[in-house]
Chain A
Amino acid sequence: MADIRSNFIGIKSPNPFWLASAPPTDKEYNVVRAFKAGWGGVVWKTLGLDPHIVNVNGPRYGAVWGADRRLLGLNNIELITDRPLQVNLDEIKRVKRDWPDRAVVVSLMVPCEEACWTDIMKQVDDTGADGVELNFGCPHGMSERGMGSAVGQVPEYIEMVTRWVKASTRMPVIVKLTPNITDIRYPARAAHKGGADAVSLINTVSSITSVNLDTFSPEPSIDGKGSHGGYCGPAVKPIALNMVADIARDAETRGLPISGIGGITTWRDAAEFMALGAGNVQVCTAAMTYGFKIVQEMIEGLKNWMDEAGHPDLDAFVGRAVPNVTDWQYLNLNYVAKARIDQDSCIQCGRCHIACEDTSHQAITNMVDGQRRFEVIDEECVGCNLCVNVCPVENCITMVPMAAGAVDPRTGRVVTDDYANWTTHPNNPARVAAE
């Protein structure tokens, strides 16, 4: 049986599934329920200075749904904890004492003054927590006060605060990054320079989820007005994966531990983040949608996959996908694939045809010998994968690589095993002459 015990920057937990700093980790009651359900760790909801902040007293969340009202994206305008600092510290201390095998990390957000950080670090140290996470990510409310993503958007501030915190604590320090930035590598490098033990990402994406067409207020609406919130859930996963990969393969930050966050809903999502270099993962929206029990599926699913794939422990697959992330210019232009439609599993909805016909390459029939039938026209198929993506039946349409030696009927060229990319392509004005 696969061993899924996790040791992330020295913080041990029975599995790599932590709850992210968010409403589910706001207080002892929730965290104890999470640990009973099997979560490996929590990042306690962000603490700040007293007097504690206040939240709106109306809706805090907005949503985007898919078919059957599946929650695909969640947006929130909730701020950091709205309870007194000491109440949180006392609960953290008690929880860590009662659950010594679980990871308890404390998220923090205080003004950009060294004394503020030094002072709160002392108090957190006393709780016996396993580490701290610096919240440089929240894009709403606190950022207007010069905290959260307002810090995360300025690499110099990240480095400065990280350095203050590292100098004041025995604990490992994780820096949580905002995705609301052009290039995630800059804040990651700054955290690294400041001495961070790890980065965690992504925090939420600035967003307006919808507009009420009766009142013309953005949702969630507070007395007829709305404010941008932080977007999370399955919809943001691709954005997060890309940012995790960017940091994992950047020359300056390579090897910097990453705690992966962003739409993780199943064991598979978690494994994908870890394959791209995350040492563990943090989850929020999935728990807020389905309750804490979902961790059972994550634990068992991950173990089952590791057993089947032959990965004895987490280290066996963490980062394995990183070398396969490359720049576009290095992709093999000699690789040729064609769509293939399995007629036995085709239900004849015709969406592949109309997608290709209207918006792409006119490479799928809708009629063959007077019968409704969808077949790929290899002479036209560029292998774009759109048909695969719109097909409602999994594995009905697949992309099949052409074997070397075969002639691509679209280009008339013989397919070759040789690797050739844009850097040497004759159409590239800046090409490097082939040796």
Chain B
Amino acid sequence: MTDGRLDTGVAAGRLSAEDYAENFADLHPPLDRHEAVVAADRCYFCYDAPCVTACPTGIDIPLFIRQIATGNTTGSAKTIFDQNILGGMCARVCPTETLCEQACVREKAEGKPVVIGRLQRYATDAAMTAGKQFYERAAPSGKLVAVVGAGPAGLACAHRLAMHGHDVTVFDARPKAGGLNEYGIAAYKTVDGYAQAEVDYVTAIGGIAVEPGKALGRDLSLAGLCTSYDAVFLGMGLGGVNALGVEGDDSEGVIDAVEYIAALRQASDLATLPVGRRVVVLGGGMTAIDVAVQAKLLGAEEVTICYRRGKDNMNASEYEQDLATSKGVAIRHWLQPKRILAQSGKVTGIQLEYTTMSDGRLTGTGESLTLGADQVFRAIGQSYVTEPLEGGPSVALEGGRIKVDGEGRTSIAKVWAGGDCVAGGDDLTVSAVAMGRDAAESIHKSFNTRSGA
């Protein structure tokens, strides 16, 4: 639309090459040394700091910031990686505004927290750019561990196991490792192939073999893994996308947001990616925001997020909502899909019903409105797919996901799990890292206990 051209329907190449480059550039450019020191100087080095408590991986934030301030950027990176080996990606994708930065005392004091996420990126980028590896493997233990899923949970687990001297094989169904870091997440949050660089950085410790293109239930079975390995970690995330369950859901142009985002992340040329002129996104989480903003940045003329509850119920943070509206995305609340309108099998619009809370339950009011649309994105949540584990040892589920205890142990011996596929999580990258790391410690402990017995 840069030249005022009207491309109706779904079309690729809506923008110039410069526009694509600008739109998908780093959302937050890295801090330079001066900016980092000024930002670091604002940290009060709190006692029992609330930011640390708020971090799912418990990074010693005041310490790493003080290390930046004192010119020990390398030490700062180590402080971060000690707790979170994927600290570089978390620095980019964590909703810090609802985690460490929300807890920062300067948020309370002045409404302006220390920019912890950007400082974390400053330190981790410096160490990774310098190729600085902080960890050496312990003497080989002779133990073999299979990790299913090369996403944040699996990678964190593999790294910690490798540190302890165990040999790890990481299987992933996709052609590349990285999980959602590679196939999810808005492109402008992780530019320049960062996800793969991080995979390389993490696996550089040694003792980690990555086997892409191997899916559980297709190429591997849990029973087989349990036989061949001393322990198994399941970290395969969520394979399913919730259906709309309304008429016309199967029309051309009704797309799973996660698939579209994956295609966008893998596209070598964004101009080849078709996007609608008028786009409707259904959902209220981070995925809804990510697909809506990126559709807009790809040149969609109108992008509307429709969410069936109110603003306060949205899983997307306030910051992400503001980001979307600042990019020109409209967010509408209290609307649920009623029917997809289509002509010749192609989406032309969507009928939505107004909703309200009645006696604590969400109900339709009967009134509806229609929005014209060439594309409708489903971003109403993902689900754990049970099929890959069927036919093998029975892993107990809870609320449709794998049940684990505080250390990540599943209901069967030798099998741990973590990340989005387990029950009770918050679907955050940083939480997946914490679960993978902790499961690795639990696995390691179990080896010692068993060998000592």
Contacts and interface: CB of A to CB of B under 8 A. Distances in A.
Interface of A: 67-69, 347-351, 353-354, 366, 372, 392-393
A347 B105 contact: yes
Interface in B74-88: none
Contacts of B48: 350, 354, 366, 372
A80 to B, nearest CB: 36
A303 to B, nearest CB: 31
Contacts of B50: 348, 372
B453 interface: no
B293 to A, nearest CB: 33
12 contacts: A67-B41, A349-B105, A350-B48, A351-B44, A351-B46, A354-B48, A366-B47, A366-B48, A372-B48, A372-B50, A392-B44, A393-B109
Nearest to A366: B48
B108 A351 contact: no
Interface string B36-64: 01100110111111100000000000000
Given A68-B38, A347-B106, A351-B44, 19 more contacts: A67-B41, A69-B37, A69-B38, A69-B41, A347-B105, A348-B46, A348-B50, A348-B105, A349-B46, A349-B47, A350-B46, A350-B48, A350-B49, A351-B46, A354-B47, A366-B48, A372-B48, A372-B50, A392-B44
A206 B374 CA distance: 77
Contacts of B44: 349, 351, 392
Contacts of A353: 47
Contacts of A354: 47-48
A373 to B, nearest CB: 12
A237 to B, nearest CB: 22
A350 B41 CA distance: 17
A69 B69 CA distance: 11
Nearest to A353: B47
**Max chain B Cβ within 10 angstroms of own Cβ: one of A67, A69, A353, A392:** A67
Nearest to A345: B109
Contacts of A393: 109
B45 A351 contact: yes
A145 B54 CA distance: 62
Contacts of B41: 67-69
Contacts of A68: 38, 41
Interface string B7-51: 000000000000000000000000000000110011011111110
B81 to A, nearest CB: 25
A348 B108 contact: yes
Nearest to A65: B41
Interface in B154-198: none
A29 B106 CA distance: 45
B123 to A, nearest CB: 19
Contacts of A366: 47-48
A392 B109 CA distance: 10
Contacts of A392: 44, 109
A219 to B, nearest CB: 15
A255 B42 CA distance: 46
A351 B106 contact: no
Contacts of A350: 46-49
Leading 8 A-B pairs by shortest Cβ distance: A350-B47, A354-B47, A67-B41, A347-B105, A349-B46, A347-B109, A349-B105, A349-B44
A347 B108 contact: yes
Contacts of B45: 351
A359 to B, nearest CB: 12
A366 B49 CA distance: 11
A348 B44 CA distance: 11
B231 to A, nearest CB: 37
A68 B42 CA distance: 8
Interface string B95-125: 0000000000110110000000000000000
B447 to A, nearest CB: 37
A348 B49 CA distance: 9
Nearest to A354: B47
A85 to B, nearest CB: 44
Contacts of A372: 48, 50
A68 B45 CA distance: 15
A67 B46 CA distance: 15
A68 B105 CA distance: 18
Contacts of B49: 350
Contacts of A69: 37-38, 41
Contacts of A67: 41-42
Nearest to A67: B41
B320 to A, nearest CB: 26
Nearest to B37: A69
